[in-house]
């Protein structure tokens, strides 16, 4: 697609985000499954639901512009971010010493997704306004607000997880505190495939075990 005008750039970016959101929609259920902390699980599940609405909004804007979502090319930026998160879980899920460790990695990956979206939607809102497309601007602003909220929620959960984790480390050997954490050792579950297992053929393969050597030799704590 040739980008001759701001209108073209706007259309291009809308389609890019359409692809990005579709990829996120596919990845989120696996992230929900991988999460250990209940609050994190709920937040990710909630964001999956919201993401469906965001896809609808993009469809609505594009269809009002008489543009088809079919011509949307795969968003490579989002593909890379999701791929990186997936590898992180695959490589380290089974080695993570606790659910906290795994959740921390998961939150980091999810926040990279949110920040990409915040940047993209911020730009889209500005373009829509410049083009005098007030309805589109409003819809995109709603999405932008939701992405920011999701990002803040993740920050909040990260700090509460850190606090919990610090509490546990203070008295790690008592039966009571061990007993409370019935979800420990869940890492193995996430390690089976990372998320988004049924991603189309052509991915995976050669690089999958690239980092294995380094991580293998690192001594485990405790
Ligand atoms: Fe989104
Ligand atoms: Fe998002």
Helix, strand, coil share (%) of the chain residues, nearest 5? 75, 0, 25
* Nearest-ligand number for the alpha carbon of 147: 2
How far apart are the two ends of the chain, measured CA to CA in Å?
Answer: 56
User: Look-up: residue for tokens 């959101």?
Assistant: 21
What's the 88 CA to ligand 1 centre distance in angstroms?
21
For 154-211, what is each residue's pLDDT tens digit? 999 999 988 877 777 665 444 444 434 434 444 334 443 445 444 444 444 444 444 4
Ligand 1 center to residue 217 CA distance, Å?
A: 38
Residue 152 belongs to what H/E stretch? helix 134-170
Superfamily name with CATH number, domain 6-162 = Ferritin, core subunit, four-helix bundle (1.20.1260.10)
> What does the pLDDT read at residue 100?
85
State how far the Cα of 169 lies from the Cα of 179, in Å rounded to an integer: 14
Ligand 1 center to residue 202 CA distance, Å?
25
Q: Give the Cα separation of 222 and 125 in Å (integer).
A: 50
Q: How far apart are CA 139 and CA 60, in angstroms?
A: 9
For the chain, list residues with pLDDT below 70: 1, 92-97, 169-222
Tell me 184's DSSP state. T
Tokens coding 112? 């990279």
142 CA from centroid of ligand 1 (Å): 11
């Amino acid at each position: 697609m040739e980008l001759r005008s701001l209108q073209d750039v706007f259309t291009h970016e809308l389609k890019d985000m359409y692809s990005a959101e579709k990829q996120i929609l596919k990845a989120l259920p696996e992230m929900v499954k991988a999460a250990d902390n209940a609050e994190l699980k709920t937040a990710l599940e909630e964001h999956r639901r919201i993401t469906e609405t965001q896809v609808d909004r993009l469809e609505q804007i594009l269809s009002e512009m008489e543009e088809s979502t079919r011509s949307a090319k795969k968003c490579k930026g989002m593909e890379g971010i999701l791929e990186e998160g997936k590898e992180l879980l695959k490589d380290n899920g089974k080695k993570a010493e606790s659910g906290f460790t795994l959740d921390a990695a998961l939150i980091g990956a999810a926040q990279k997704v949110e920040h990409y979206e915040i940047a993209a939607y911020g730009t889209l809102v500005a373009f829509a306004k410049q083009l005098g497309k007030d309805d589109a601007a409003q819809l995109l602003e709603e999405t932008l607000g939701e992405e920011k909220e999701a990002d803040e929620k993740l920050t909040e959960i990260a700090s509460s997880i850190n606090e919990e984790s610090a509490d546990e480390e203070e008295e790690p050997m008592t039966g009571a505190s061990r007993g409370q954490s019935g979800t420990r050792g869940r890492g193995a579950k996430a390690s089976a495939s990372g998320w988004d297992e049924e991603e189309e053929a052509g991915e995976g393969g050669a690089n999958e075990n690239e980092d294995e050597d380094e991580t293998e030799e690192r001594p485990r704590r405790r």
